[in-house]
């Protein structure tokens, strides 16, 4: 059961991340006025990063319980740490830069956040491909 749970959690994370990128984000910024979309995003992202961090940490724990694979566990722990970093360190600084009208800082931090999130998505996809079907 453990290997299946690990793959299920990682696959779910991929689905969440792709759905947000493809469907939710574009809709938020085209359907809502800027002040509403900004307020929504400020409430959404801490929950998004925290939830994905928890599910990734859980997947790391189940990877070890199921296979004893330390390399796979290390990759997942690294991704979980980045999610928590994004939640507790990066997102508040992005918001502060926006509030203080530090446009260059905001853009740099925002693109760092996007880059980290896309890198994590690619790591998850590579993890699923490399570990193949659960055994």
Q: What is the pTM of this model?
A: 0.91
pLDDT at 72: 84
The ranges assigned to domains in the chain are 2-129
pLDDT at 133: 65
Q: What's the rounded Cα separation, in Å, for the pair 44 and 38?
A: 10
Give how far the C-alpha of residue 131 lies from the chain's centroid of Cα atoms, to the nearest Å. 20
pLDDT along the chain (135 residues), means of 10: 81 97 93 94 96 96 70 93 98 97 97 98 94 62
Concatenating the DSSP letter of every residue in 45-61 gives HHHHHHHHHHHHHHHHH
pLDDT at 131: 78
pLDDT at 1: 56
SS (H, E, C) 57-117: HHHHHHHHHHHCCHHHHHHHHHHHHHHHHHHHHHHHHHHHHHHCCCHHHHHHHHHHHHHHH
With both helix axes pointing from N to C terminus, report the angle between 34-67 and 91-99 in degrees, rounded to the nearest 10. 170
Judge whether 124 and 52 are in contact, CB under 8 Å: no
């Amino acid at each position: 059961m453990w290997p299946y749970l690990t793959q299920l959690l990682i696959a779910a994370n991929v689905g969440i991340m792709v759905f947000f990128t493809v469907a939710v984000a574009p809709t938020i910024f085209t359907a809502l006025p800027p002040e509403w979309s900004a307020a929504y995003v400020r409430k959404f992202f801490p929950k998004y990063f925290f939830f994905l961090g928890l599910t990734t940490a859980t997947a790391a724990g189940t990877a070890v319980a199921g296979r004893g694979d330390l390399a796979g566990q290390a990759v997942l722990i690294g991704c979980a740490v980045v999610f928590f970093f994004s939640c507790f360190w990066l997102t508040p600084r992005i918001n502060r830069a926006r509030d203080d009208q530090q446009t260059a800082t905001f853009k740099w931090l925002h693109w760092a956040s996007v880059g980290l999130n896309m890198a994590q998505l690619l790591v998850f996809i590579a993890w699923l491909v490399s570990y193949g079907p659960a055994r």
